[in-house]
Amino acid sequence: MKVNTSSGIKAWSDTEKPRERLQTHDRRSLNDVELIAILLRSGYKNETAIDVSRQILAYYDHDLSRLGRADIQELSTFKGVGLAKAAAVIAALELGRRRKALEMPARPQITCSKDAYQILRPDLTDLTHEEFWVLLLDRAHRVLLKYAVSRGGKAMTCVDPGEVFKTALLRNAAAFIVAHNHPSGNLTASSADKAITQRLVQGGTLLGIPLLDHLIITDHRFLSMADEGLLV
């Protein structure tokens, strides 16, 4: 929808104002610019909330995943966006991410690498640092527990296999899957990725709790080390 930005939003007709359109139209009819403008509430001299919203989205190439990785300090550098407005935008995006995570069935069953990816994706995307997560499974490969083992820096996170197996034994897991993210977007398994995978495979074999897969996840894609024949 094209709106008039030559004057302040108060001067627009109700059919142009984002907040009024949200009240009278299906929320899905509003575009990203309008929704973020509602969160911003106002702009600054000679620039409306719509103008500021457009500037923000243009900076992030209209990619909400990239915008979701921004922090309050980064967003507040945009003219007309202070700490309070930046916090409102980030809070709204985080609520959306959490809602997506809650759409997972209570006890989903893993039948392929894509199933595991869909379960772990909400937790391992939109991050600027690496995290390492575990899915514990029962004998039917239904999820017993999903949890984070470690959080690290932009290019590395340390994993203690002992902690992984301690929880697996406590929960009587029959198998497990691990995953970590690459904030860089690189889907190549590093030598460190392969080394920790080998240690987990060996430990799982000794304890009778096999490692079924190790996923590397980026914002839009994933690599399955099992599918690539790298679980050795």
* Residue 125 within a domain: yes
Sign of the four-CA dihedral 116, 118, 123, 127:
positive
> Both tokens of residue 111?
């039948």
| pLDDT in single tens digits along all 232 residues of the chain | 444 544 566 656 545 677 788 887 777 788 899 999 999 988 888 888 999 999 999 999 998 888 988 889 999 999 999 999 999 999 998 888 788 767 666 689 999 999 999 999 989 998 889 999 999 999 999 999 999 999 887 766 789 999 999 999 999 999 999 999 999 999 999 999 999 999 999 999 999 999 999 999 998 899 999 999 998 7
Q: Which domain holds residue 42?
A: 9-101
> Both tokens of residue 73?
């300090």
Give the end of a domain, one of 45, 80, 101: 101
* Residue 232 within a domain: no
179 close to 193: Cβ distance less than 8 angstroms: no
pTM of this structure: 0.65
Supply the CATH number for residue 214's domain: 3.40.140.10
The three-state secondary structure class of 96 is: helix
Burial tier of 64 (Cβ tally within 10 Å: 0-12, 13-18, 19+)? middle
Q: In this structure, which long-range contacts are made by residues 83-87, counting pairs with CB atoms below 8 Å and at least 24 apart in sequence?
A: 85/39, 85/40, 85/41
Q: Are residues 138 and 197 in the same domain?
A: yes
* Residue 68 within a domain: yes
Q: Please tell me the total count of domains within the chain.
A: 2
Q: Are residues 153 and 111 in the same domain?
A: yes
Q: Are residues 172 and 95 in the same domain?
A: no
